[in-house]
Homo-oligomer: A and B are copies of this chain.
Amino acid sequence: MNFTNPWIDDDGDTLREECGVFGAINATDAAAATALGLHALQHRGQEAAGITSFDGTEFYSRRGLGHVAENFSSQEAIAELPGFMAAGHVRYSTTGGSGLRNVQPLYAELASGGFALAHNGNMSNAKTLRDELVSRGAIFQSTSDTEVIIHLVATSRYPTMIDRLIDALRMVEGAYSLIVMTPEGMVACRDPLGIRPLVMGRIGDATVFASETVAFDIIGAEFVRQIDPGEVVKVDFDGNVKSLRPFGNQGSRPCIFEHVYFSRPDSIFDGRSVYEARKAIGAELARETPVEADLVVPVPDSGVPAAIGYAQASAIPFELGIIRSHYVGRTFIQPSDGARHAGVKRKHNANRGLVEGKRIVLIDDSIVRGTTSLKIVEMMRDAGATEVHFRVASPPTAHSCFYGVDTPERSKLLAARMQLEPMREFIKADSLAFISIDGLYKAVAQKKRDSGCPQFCDACFTGDYPTTLTDLETRVDREAQLSFPVGKVAASA
A interface residues (Cβ-Cβ under 8 A, vs B):
2-3, 6, 27-30, 32-33, 35-36, 39-40, 42-43, 46, 61, 67-70, 72-75, 78, 98, 108-111, 134-141, 150-151, 154-155, 203-204, 206, 214, 217-221, 264-266, 268, 273, 275-276, 301, 304-305, 308, 312, 317-320, 323-340, 342, 345-346, 349-354
In the complex, the chain B residue whose C-beta lies closest to that of A323 is B266
A403 to chain B, nearest CB (A): 24
- Contacting pair A28 B335 (CB below 8 A): yes
Which of B46, B111, B323, B330 interacts with A264 by CB under 8 Å? B323
Q: A335-B219, A338-B220, A339-B219 are in contact. Are A265 and B320 (CB under 8 A)?
A: yes
Query: How many monomers of this protein are in the complex?
Result: 4
Q: A39-B332, A139-B154, A217-B345 are in contact. Are A46 and B327 (CB under 8 A)?
A: yes
Residues from chain B with a CB closer than 8 A to the CB of A32 are 332-335, 338
- Contacting pair B346 A39 (CB below 8 A): yes
A137 to chain B, nearest CB (A): 4
Q: A327-B68, A329-B69 are in contact. Are A275 and B28 (CB under 8 A)?
A: no
- Contacting pair B337 A204 (CB below 8 A): yes
- Contacting pair B275 A351 (CB below 8 A): yes
- Contacting pair A327 B137 (CB below 8 A): no
26 CB-based A-B contacts, threshold 8 Å: A3-B323, A3-B324, A3-B326, A6-B327, A28-B335, A32-B338, A42-B326, A43-B325, A69-B327, A70-B329, A73-B331, A75-B333, A109-B134, A109-B140, A110-B134, A111-B135, A141-B141, A206-B337, A217-B350, A218-B345, A218-B346, A266-B323, A266-B353, A273-B354, A308-B319, A318-B318
Complex Cα distance A353/B277, Å? 11
Complex Cα distance A266/B349, Å? 7
